[in-house]
Every structure is written in structure tokens, then in C-alpha cells.
Amino acid sequence: MLEQLKPENIRAQYEMSRLLAGMSADVAKLYLRWAAKLATHPGAPVKAGAGLAADVMDISRDVLLKVAGEEVEPRKLNGDRRFASEAWEQKAPFRVLRRTYDAYARAALKLAEETPRLDDEDRRKLRFFTGQFLDAIAPANFAISNPDVLQETVQSRGRNFMHGMRNLWHDLDLTHGRLNISMSDLGAFEVGKNLATTPGEVVYRNELMELIQYTPTTKQVSRRPLMIIPPWFNKYYVLDMQPANSVVKYLVDQGQTVFLISWRNPDEETPDKTFDDYMLEGPLEAMSVIADITGESEVNAMGYCLGGILLACLLAWLDAKGRNPIRSATYLTTLIDYTDVGDVKVFVDEKQLERLERLGKAKGYLPGDNVAWGFRLLRAPDLIWTFVINHYMLGRDRVPFDLLFWNEDATNMPLSCHMYFMRNMYIDNKLRQPNAIELAGEPIDVTRIETPAYILSTRDDHIAPWKTCYESTQLFSGRSRFVLGNSGHIAGVINPPTREKYGYRVGTGNPPDPDDWFSRAKEKPGSWWPDWVRWLRRYSGGRVKARTPGSKEYPPLEPAPGHYVRQMIRPDKRSLF
């Protein structure tokens, strides 16, 4: 508690309150502008009201048919898992309640979408915040109107609420005065014990990253090593979860010499690194170490999300230098064009960035847990309200789920690097413009990149919309293979061959229109990983004897997963219960 009374922490709390107050004021002004538009265009609410009246009449017809003993066709509620229970369909009062909520929600969103003369930014924000309000007031979120909670209360004689209060107390962060809604059993996993367990060694470390080289499992390996660049917004071990769903282990078992960058988690003691620093001290420095260890002057490279953006910037920078040491590039859910970034845009404008910058200067970095909450809001029914229902009202124990554990293990953001990225990419969309961005003294042009590219996007991605990711095929000069995985930003990527859960689509050629590509693409069952490895082997340069980690110049420093990945941004509360 005394830690919070330090001047720098008091300043940070003040800036956080200013940020939240500013966002609240912006939302209030947004709804005032909406009210003014509705007042001068009364036809919009009349049209929405007519649609709502028709839905209410349809609900009434269903009720009468049900009373008369007729069969009524069941209707799903837009895939919302909160209403997945059969009780919402089979029990008449809850069926009416569910459908009435659905009707009013659709009418409100339709009105927000179709109000005349709203600019695109206001329309997007209005749709988003109205959706957040509607998600919050859904009848499933309240014990008295949730049939599953009522049934559990009767069966357990109220013990569900006792267990729910225990779970609520566990999630309360009294030091910072907030509620951290947990998604997974934090005590079920430990990095280096049952997560990130692929054998390897940290062979290099600077103040920004550790470089891990993984131990081979085959007698021969591809001659060109593979360098992996994860996002600095998340811990790298999303690519090395458990053995059954580890991308890293799969690659090693396929005969790749894998080097992976593990970013440091910024804190008060970390220098404020720029975007240039992340490129120069990250993958560029890593390539120098890889060349010394393996004796190879060329590598294949893969970047995930922000790591893919850094990879594209590095390739363009190297091209400006007249160098091309990267033989092939793989981009996983990576945006190069930012024309349409989905609802993430709601949190990105100059005014909000200025508030974030003040907060970052007060702390020395951007706090990762607050940034992570913004991404949870993008899928609030699944990532917030489902857990409120299950943990606090049904009183269920947290389920051990590795991807959700990783999702909670957030990282802080480097202030200067992140502000540069958000302004130049998200706001000004400069990355796609030739020579509009200068990195380490060189104007860069991604349209000059001729390196063969494997571009993976995912169909339900709420962070990097697939049609915007597809634009990379039109920007790069070299040949590219575009693959569209099913599911979302994480599950669509971490889709191992051991689990035939999601499929993917591949097409021949990359026409300008993504819908045209989609209509021609063929659906494939299972994981996209084998398809990628087959593509990667074209650029692997043959086979050589397997390499042990490290060299005379770069001896192993410590076993994988290393030190940086274990740094957490908030105290470990696993011992409380």
C-alpha cells in the first residue's frame, strides 16, 4: 500500500483518472451529437421503431402459438454463448425475455448504424459503445433473469453465491481499487513448468530482448535457420504453449533450427525504447547473432501481429540499405494497411493518444493491464460477461485453459515505440505509403519488398480484419501465398495438427478484391501448419547436420524460456485460495 503513495504513483493515478474522465466526456459528447442528429432527422427513429414493432408482433405470435400447443421454431441469439442453454428456448418466460432483448438490441444498433449525416468515426464509436451498453444489460447478466443461475441457486441452496463471492474477492485488486476478472485458473500453469517447455537455451541477451535457440530433435535440419519475431504486446509463449499445441515444438520436430526473440517487459527501470530501437536491437541484432552461431548469412523469418509489422519494416529498411539477408517472410495476422482496422479504431485518435502519452510519461511506460482491457471490450460477451456469470453468479471454479492464462499474462507497452506505431500506422496509415516513414535514418517503402511471403489471416479476427490483412498481397512486390484460417486472432493461429478443430482456405493467385479471392479459395480441413512448413521448405536451402544451441562467441546463458518472459506486471495472487 505504501508503494501507491510514492509521488510517481500518485501522478500516474492522477493521469489515469484524467484519461478515464476524458474518455467518459468524449462518449457523452458523442451521444449528444447523436441526439441532435435524431432530432433533425425523425425518420430514422420512426423506421427503427417500425422494425422493432414488427419484431414484437412476431414475438407475440410465437407466444400465442406456444400457448395453443403449436411447435415454434427455435432461434439462436447471434451466437452469444450466454444464451446457449436450452432453458432460454424451452421455458416460455425466458424465451420471451431473450427474444425481446434481441429485438430491442437490434433496433438500437440499427438506429446507430443508419442515423443520417453522422461521420464515419462517430458512427463506429456510436455502434461500439451502444453495443457495450447492450452487452452489459443483457438479461443473462442478472441472477433474477438467468434461468441457469436460478436453477443452480435452487439446487445448491444458494452455495453458488457463496462460491461466487469467494471468486469475486479473489479478483478484487484492493491496492489499485479495481476488479480484475480472471478468465483461467492462474494456479494451473507456470511458465517454464507446463508452458513454454520446448527445450532450448538463451544464447544472447540485451536490455530489450533475449534470443532463444531451441534444441534440435532431428539428426538433420534445414540449412537456413528460422527467426521468430513475436509481438511485444504479449508474451512469446503463445507460440510455445503446451507440447500438443506448441508452434515452436512443431517447427523443431519438422527439422527447423528455430531462434525466437523474447521481449523484455518494460517497467520503471527500463529505458524508454523507440521503434527504431526495437528494430535495431531486436531482429537486426538477432540476425547477427544467428549468423555467428550457424554460419549462415540468410534466414527465414516469421512475425506474429506486431512482430509481423516489425518484420515488414525491417525488410523495407534492409532494401533501402541494399541488403537482403531474409530469404522468406511469414506474416501471421499482420496489418500493413490500416484503412479499416475494425473496432480497435474506437480507441485510437489523437486526443486519446495524448492522454495515454501523459499516463505513460507519469509511469515510464504504458500499463499493460489497462491496454489489455481495451481488447477484452472488443469481445465483451465472451471475454467479460461470460466469466462474470460463470464465476460470480454460478460460482463455478475457474477452468485451466492455457490460452486464457496467456491472455491474462499481459505486458506493459514501451511508450515511445507504441506512440510512434499508433500515430504513423493506425492514425496516418503511413506504412503503406512509399517513403512516408523513416527508420534509423532511412525512408522505407514496403512496396519494394520482393521477399516471398506467406500471409496468414483469420476469418473472425477482431484485431486484424482479414480483408485488411489481404491488402498486403497487393502492396508487396514479391510472390505471396495468402491463407485464411477459421476462428480468431489467437485460436485460428494456435491450431495444431493434433486437433482437427478448425480448417483454413487457400487460393491460387491474389486478385485485387478479397471477396473475389474468397469465392475462388478452397476449404481445407485441419491445421494450416503443415501447409506453411511445406512452403517454408522451398526456402530452407537443403539439409545440414543438427546444431546444438550456442557457439564459442555466444555460449548458452540459461535454459529456455529465459528470464524476461517470467516478468509479470501484477502480483501473483494464486496463493490466496
Q: How many Å apart are CA 466 and CA 488, to the nearest integer? A: 10
Least Cα distance to 453 among 480, 484, 476 occurs for: 480
Burial, 572: exposed, middle or buried (Cβ in 10 Å; 0-12, 13-18, 19+)? exposed
Q: Is 441 left (phi over 0), alpha (psi -120 to 50) or beta?
A: left
Q: How many Å apart are CA 124 and CA 61, to the nearest integer? A: 34
CB atoms within 10 A of CB 61: 11
Catalytic residues: 305
CA R_g for the chain: 25
Helix (H) or strand (E) holding 456: strand 453-458
State how beta strands 504-506 and 480-485 pair.
antiparallel
Q: How remote is the C-alpha of 289 from its chain's centroid?
A: 30
Quote the cell numbers at residue 481.
501465398
Q: Which residues pair with 212 in a beta bridge?
A: 202, 260
Phi, psi of 231 (to 5 degrees): -70, 145
Please say whether the beta carbons of 49 and 105 come within 8 A.
no
Give the number of residues written for the chain. Answer: 577
Q: How many Å apart are CA 273 and CA 268, to the nearest integer? A: 12
